Every structure is written in C-alpha cells, then in structure tokens.
Amino acid sequence: MVHDVTLIRGDGVGPELMAAARRVLEATGVKFNWDVQDAGVDVLEKYGTPLPDAVLESIRRTRVAYKAPITTPIGTGFRSVNVAIRKEFDQFANVRPCKWYPGVRSRYQNVDLIMFRENTEDLYAGIEFEMGRPETKELIHWIRSKQASAKIFDDAGVSIKPISVTGTRRFAKFCFDYARKHKRKKVTAIAKANIMKYTDGLYYAVCREVAKEYPDLQYEEMLVDNMCMQLVQKPELYDTLMCPNLYGDILSDLCAGLVGGLGVAPGANIGEKGAMFEAVHGSAPKYKGMNKVNPTALILAGMMMLDYLGEADAARRVENAVAAVIAEGKSVTYDMKADRNDPTAVGTKEMADAIIAKMN
C-alpha cells in the first residue's frame, strides 16, 4: 500500500530535519507518495501568507500532514501556522507522548506518559474583548448584574472560556480509545473544577460519563495544581493524562521536561478530517544549515504517523532503532552528550544514518 502524505518542510532548521526524518521513514520499506509543500517565513514574501492555499488543498486531499518546525514570531507578525492548520481541519485532539529513553539526560527515569490536550475550546478559543472598548464595558456590567460577587475593574480585558459537552465528549472518547488501543492502564482527567465549577466542572462530568464505557481502564480526576506537584514528585505513578486546552499546553511541556526536553518530544493533532504529525520544538533559525539539530522529535513524530496509518510494525522498528542509538550514545547530536562541546557529537544527517543502520 502507498500512503499519500503532505510533507511540509518548514523553515529555519525544518528542511534539514525533515530530510533526515524522511530518509528514516522511507528506510522502513513503507511506501509514501509525498506531496512536498512549503510554509512559514521563507514563503511569506512570495505568497503574502506563511500558509499558502496549496498547503491546505494538499492536506484536504491526503488527510495526513507531516510537518517540520515553522517559526512563529512573538508579539508581532502572523499567528501560528500550527494553530491555523488545527482550526482549519478541526484537529481537536493533541497527542504528546512523553517517554524517557535510556541514555537521555534527565533527573527522571522510567517515565512513560501520554498527554492529551483538547485543541479547540477553553481560553484558547480566542474569544477576547479589548480593555476600554464599549462592548467590553457592557460585558463587564452584564457579568456584575448576574453575579454580584464578580470583582472586575472597569479597565479589564476579558476572555471567555467555553467548554462544551459536545467538544469534551468527542475528546474524551478519543483519549479512551487511544489508551485502550495502546494498552494503557489508567486515564487521569485534569482540571480546576473546585474553582471553575461550570466549565471545568462540566469537563469532569462528561469525562466521568465517558469513562463508564471503558471499564477496562482505571479512571481518576486530579486538580491541575496538584497534578503539577505529583508529576514533579512521582511521575511514574501516572499513565495517560487528559486536559482542557490551556492546562494541556502547560503540562505537556512540563512532561517533556521530565524526559529530556522538547528535543525528544513528538506530537500529533488529530480529528475526523485528518491528522498532522510534528516535532513540537521551534525552528531554531540560528542553527539553519549547520547540520546540528537533534532530529529525534521529528523522527518520533513520523513513528506516530506510521502507527496512525496502520503501519504498527514499522512504527515499532523506528522507535526501537531510535532508542538503541540514544542508549549507545555514540552517534547522537551535541545536546544529547553529557558535555555539549563533546567533539564526538554528530550532526542531524549522521544521527539519521545511525538510526537507519540500527533499523536495518
């Protein structure tokens, strides 16, 4: 079988990372029909947008995207290409495995978590009202009239936090299905329902109902602040975590930190209209063209894509080869050495070569 996949090369170090990861995936023997597309700052001047229509048209056709890092300017310029693709294709579930591989420098060992983040609701829905505008003042006055205890200053900006039964149910079912498929034992729903009783409370209530359909999986609930402490103290007690959007964004980076950082953290965004697989770290433009950056995260994202495409055996071969190279510690990039100035560190291309050799 040949799999149609939209391959987005990204910018900064993205193209060289993708070249390495693509070779690893092709070395599995799985057949791909790559539709190579460009997005990001490198095409902004040519197309007037960092996300050309051709990219979206390709994803509509293939329903699977494999994306290298893309620069998102801070405080100015265009909004995240990642967010735009998620919204365009209603990719409501963000999946972030956080697994420690022997050889990765970390204070923690034997951590094997999957973080699920709901992608479309919560404060990240972007429903905000600017300070001082008439509609903001009207909203503040309306809130005060309905809730006398609301202490809101007139010069406030306001953001609305929508969490729905529909959005939560489809997300929860996805999480439980994924956990069951991947033979996980426990699902922990995370929120702050003791304070936000009508939004996070609704989130818990729906997750609780969905959990009844999966008696083979242990279900528990945890307040987000307590979860942060638990993860730092004893992450080995947890398995699969599911969060609303904002908490998931924060906790997914915390979990990546437990297993060595974003350099080994893959991610996927999945919905009924298709999926996108990516490294979750940035584009590191200062290292562009230096053959220096760790390709592990993007290769592991490719492993997730193989699994999604039904190529489970190839996915396991990729992961085992990555793990073997990391454990051996010889053919790894500078960031995976105990001394970052270690002269035996290899480049992006050479680490990919070592993974391919192990796989074969």
Q: What is the pLDDT of residues 134-183, one digit of tens each?
A: 888 888 888 888 777 778 888 888 899 999 999 999 999 999 999 999 99
- 239-285 pLDDT, tens digit per residue, is 999 999 999 999 999 999 999 999 999 999 999 999 999 998 989 88
pLDDT over 80 (residue 78) = no
Amino acid at 29: G
Distance in angstroms (rounded) separating the CA atoms of residues 311 and 308: 7
Give the burial class of 21: count Cβ atoms within 10 A of its Cβ; 0-12 exposed, 13-18 middle, 19 or more buried: buried
Global confidence as pTM: 0.93
Of the listed ranges 1-10, 152-161, 222-231, 317-326, the least confidently predicted one is 152-161
Q: Which pairs from 85-89 meet CB under 8 Å and 24+ separation? A: 85/51, 85/56, 85/59, 85/269, 85/276, 86/119, 86/120, 86/269, 86/276, 87/120, 88/56, 88/59, 89/59, 89/60, 89/271, 89/273, 89/274, 89/276
Distance between the two ends of the chain, CA-based, in angstroms?
Answer: 21
- Write down the catalytic residue from 42, 122, 249, 307: 249
Query: Is 47 marked active-site?
Result: no
Query: Does residue 355 contact residue 25 with C-beta atoms inside 8 Å?
Result: no
* Backbone dihedral region for residue 346 (phi beyond 0: left; psi -120 to 50: alpha; all else: beta): beta
pLDDT at 76 over 70: no
As a whole-number percent, the residues of the chain with pLDDT over 90 amount to: 75
Amino acid at 149: S
Question: What mean pLDDT comes out for the span 284-310?
Answer: 95
- DSSP bridge partners of 235: none
pLDDT tens digits, one per residue of 81-135: 888 899 899 999 999 999 999 999 999 988 999 999 999 999 888 888 888 888 8
Average confidence (pLDDT) over 189-208: 96
pLDDT for 79 = 62
Burial call 302-330: b when 16+ CB within 10 Å, e when fewer: bbbbbbbbebeebbebbbebbbbbbeeee
Catalytic residue, chosen from 178, 192, 200, 353, is: 192
Is the model's pLDDT at 73 over the cut of 80? no
What is the pLDDT, as a whole number, of residue 292?
93
Domains and CATH numbers, the chain: 1-93+265-360 (3.40.718.10), 107-126+162-258 (3.40.50), 128-160 (no CATH)
To the nearest whole number, what is the mean pLDDT of the chain?
Answer: 93
Clarify whether 124 is annotated catalytic: yes
Catalytic residue among 154, 155, 177, 225: 225
216 catalytic per annotation:
no
Rounded to an integer, what distance in angstroms lies between the CA atom of residue 28 and that of residue 31?
Answer: 9
Of 124, 178, 238, 308, catalytic: 124
What's the pLDDT score for residue 77?
Answer: 55
Of residues 337 and 165, more confidently modeled:
165
Is 353 labeled as catalytic in the residue annotation? no
pLDDT tops 60 at residue 75: no
